[in-house]
């Protein structure tokens, strides 16, 4: 959170926030509503896909709880980045009695496939927009290389050795702990969840829903172009490059990618001829509205789960 705030401060330190009112008043609400619809559907599809992942393990959670768990997961990430994957497993265990370790294993497998989707989209976008991508790398400072620590073999060796040393240390610390047997049971259950794709009979549905999730993600972002006059002329392929850049930026552990996402979107929009001011306005409004949507969906899910629990007790 501190890192995100620092990057946002660096980006918007000279920005006049009063100028946000005009684009907000003139924003095309039709395209905004359509973008919001795709944003909600991306979460709904993710919840449905999770049910398919859990079927081979013998669990069939309700569609509503699965979707609510996704809403809560994304909202939780706004508070503590990366905690959402754990929180949705906790929700499913609490309301549908699905073992935490096995559901977490399916989440990791899901994320591996999502990473593959990001890689495929990135390769496609970079190939289609290669000149723009090269200019972005140069402007971002990756073109010089000679003075970069990571450009040297020695720098990479230090990093890799440090990571290896930490992993070895953690391994021996865990071996010394009294609850090692419990951890081994957890890992065993986790592995069962991780290998669900080998057992699923509806792998085709899982693939379709995966494609659908990323299509909705992209449409949620791309349709925002048409909300403002200064971005409506940007092409589909420009949207694809901006989208993958933003998707990669949210890997940085800040709330909803705040900071790195803004930097990536603003930098690339400028390469397409959008002014710094307009690009800053776009990034700020789009990110804020999408973050607000995530928060509201999380609150809605918590409320609906409480209602569901209350009705269940009364029956």
Q: Total domain count for the chain?
A: 1
Per-residue pLDDT for 27 more than 60? Answer: yes
Whether residue 274 is contained in a domain is answered as no
Whether residue 208 is contained in a domain is answered as yes
Whether residue 1 is contained in a domain is answered as no
pLDDT for res 116 = 87
pLDDT for res 80 = 81
Q: Which has more confidence, 57 or 148?
A: 57
Q: Which two tokens stand for residue 185?
A: 């049971």
Structural domain including 160 reads: 28-141+156-225+281-314
Task: Return mean pLDDT, the chain.
Answer: 81
pLDDT band, residue 125 (cuts 50/70/90) = very high
Average pLDDT (19-44) is 94
pLDDT for res 152 = 40
pLDDT for res 104 = 83
pLDDT for res 197 = 60
Among 5-14, 21-30, 239-248, the range scoring the smallest mean pLDDT is 5-14
pLDDT for res 141 = 52
Per-residue pLDDT for 293 more than 50? Answer: yes
- Reported pTM: 0.80
Write the pLDDT tens digit of every residue in 84-107.
888 999 999 999 999 888 888 888
pLDDT for res 288 = 94
Whether residue 21 is contained in a domain is answered as no
Write the pLDDT tens digit of every residue in 156-175.
443 343 445 445 545 655 55
Per-residue pLDDT for 63 more than 50? Answer: yes
Write the pLDDT tens digit of every residue in 180-213.
444 454 455 445 555 556 667 778 888 899 999 9
């Amino acid at each position: 959170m501190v890192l995100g705030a620092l990057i946002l401060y660096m980006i918007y330190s000279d920005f006049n926030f009063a100028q946000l009112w005009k684009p907000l008043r003139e924003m095309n609400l039709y395209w905004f509503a359509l973008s919001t619809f795709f944003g909600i559907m991306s979460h709904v599809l993710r919840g449905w896909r999770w049910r398919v992942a859990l079927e081979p393990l013998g669990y069939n959670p309700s569609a509503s709880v699965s979707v609510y768990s996704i809403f809560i997961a994304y909202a939780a990430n706004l508070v503590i980045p990366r905690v959402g994957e754990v929180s949705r497993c906790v929700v499913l265990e609490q309301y549908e009695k699905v073992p935490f370790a096995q559901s977490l294993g399916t989440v990791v497998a899901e994320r591996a496939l999502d990473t593959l989707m990001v890689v495929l989209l990135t390769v496609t976008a970079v190939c289609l927009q290669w000149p723009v991508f090269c200019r972005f790398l140069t402007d971002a400072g990756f073109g010089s290389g000679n003075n970069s620590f990571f450009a040297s073999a020695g720098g990479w060796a230090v990093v890799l050795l440090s990571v290896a040393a930490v992993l070895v240390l953690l391994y021996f610390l865990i071996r010394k702990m009294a609850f090692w047997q419990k951890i081994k049971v957890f890992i065993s259950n986790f592995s069962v969840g991780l290998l669900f794709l080998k057992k699923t009979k509806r792998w085709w549905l899982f693939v379709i829903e995966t494609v659908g999730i990323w299509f909705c993600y992209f449409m949620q972002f791309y349709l925002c172009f048409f909300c403002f006059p200064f971005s409506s002329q940007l092409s589909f392929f420009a949207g694809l490059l901006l989208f993958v850049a933003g998707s990669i930026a949210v890997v940085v552990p800040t709330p909803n990618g705040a900071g790195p996402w803004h930097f990536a979107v603003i930098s690339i929009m400028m390469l397409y001829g959008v002014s710094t001011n307009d690009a800053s306005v776009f990034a700020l409004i789009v990110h804020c509205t999408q973050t607000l949507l995530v928060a509201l969906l999380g609150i809605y899910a918590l409320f609906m789960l409480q209602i569901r629990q209350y009705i269940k007790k009364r029956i």
